[in-house]
Chains A and B, each alone.
Chain A
Amino acid sequence: MNPVFSWLRSSVGRKQLMGLCGIYLYFFLFIHLTGNLRMLAGGESFNSYGHLLLETMGEIIVPIEFSLLAAFILHMYLGYKLSLENLRAKQSRYAVKDSKARKGFYSRFMAISGTWLLVFVLVHVPHFRLGVYTPIGTVNYGGVEMRDLYGAAMHFFAKGWFTLFYVVSFAFLYTHLAHGVHSSLQSLGINHPRYNVALRRISSAYAIVICGGFAALAIWAWFQRGA
């Protein structure tokens, strides 16, 4: 059998692939966050950035978007498969169950937090990327016509429920990452006493920056309502 296939079929290989997809998506979030920060500089800055990405750099950006979609689907498929298989292995177990391990709270809710994030993506991407739920208007800066993503975002986050939904989603993202990042590194074999503490600190600081950053932006946008 092709060695890549047998790697993909093994329990270890599937987890490694799931971790790699997750880490790829995770790095994308950083780029996404830096882009969003332009909202603070106002509509023109934010919209021109979006315009630059989609129109000027479209040939690069669109394939990247598809690769992100592929990574997302693969990550999700492998995650659900893992959870289902483990659910089966778990059945009919102990009448009394206790634990000596430090309780990893988030690790038991990966499927739940993951499902929430799936719903989030199903709301977020069609809405802001594709304009499915409400069409995204256009603005004109110095004769250049472009999508008014800034206006769409402000309109969206003016509604308290939507902002709340986003903030809760980022909280779920945090719990997902708190276990996921560390777990992916372990699956990929990155575990060494010399670096473990540093890795753990860096990954939790990164998770706080990402989730806190997105949540803060959503709340900031909510405060701009009516302005």
Chain B
Amino acid sequence: MIKFQSVTKIYPAHAGALMIVALEDVSFELSSKEFVSIVGRSGAGKTTLLKLLLAEEKPTRGQIFFDGLDVPQLKPERLPQLRRKIGAVFQDYRLLPTKTAYENIAYIMEVIGSSDEEIARDVPEVLEIVGLENRANNFLAELSGGERQRVAIARSLIHRPEVILADEPTGNLDPYHTLDIIRLLLKIQEMGTTVILATHNKDIINRLGKRVITLEKGRVIRDEERGRFIL
């Protein structure tokens, strides 16, 4: 359902900053309901790869398909359709600062047009799943990094998207919560969602026993079915 074909992403030079090749000739294919981890050092291009899939950035060369849609060619007004099929946990969370935890999650359901009853039923449930039922009405500024990360995770899965993109979703969590979140992602995948997990957490990868794509300096250097974390 997801296909990268010889994708290269170059961030152009500007005002003293050098040009950077973030991804180079990256090709892979994911089938529906797959669980795949993207690993690599910091700066290897993991976040860039996820941004391309969300059409937040455009590839310099190559093609990207999602459910048969040519992602980089989508017109701005068609992007919401694509993005509603994807639940993203951004590395920097990207939560709405003027809203409470509850409202941040409810916002996605409002966007896709869920009824008030569905929102009132699902949001507390998902907050409980990520262990934030007591922080529902706190504003973002009042939450710790780990709590924000869990709000971001709750937001990414509330609308049962086809794909979940999780960019270092456990980066700010203690081992106890990390394990919870990984278990949650596995469970979601078992229930029929494609999960793309970008991480540099070695323990997680080695325990998962799932497909691993390893990036190094923007290139795919390994793509293994029951992969391990080797750098």
A binds B: no
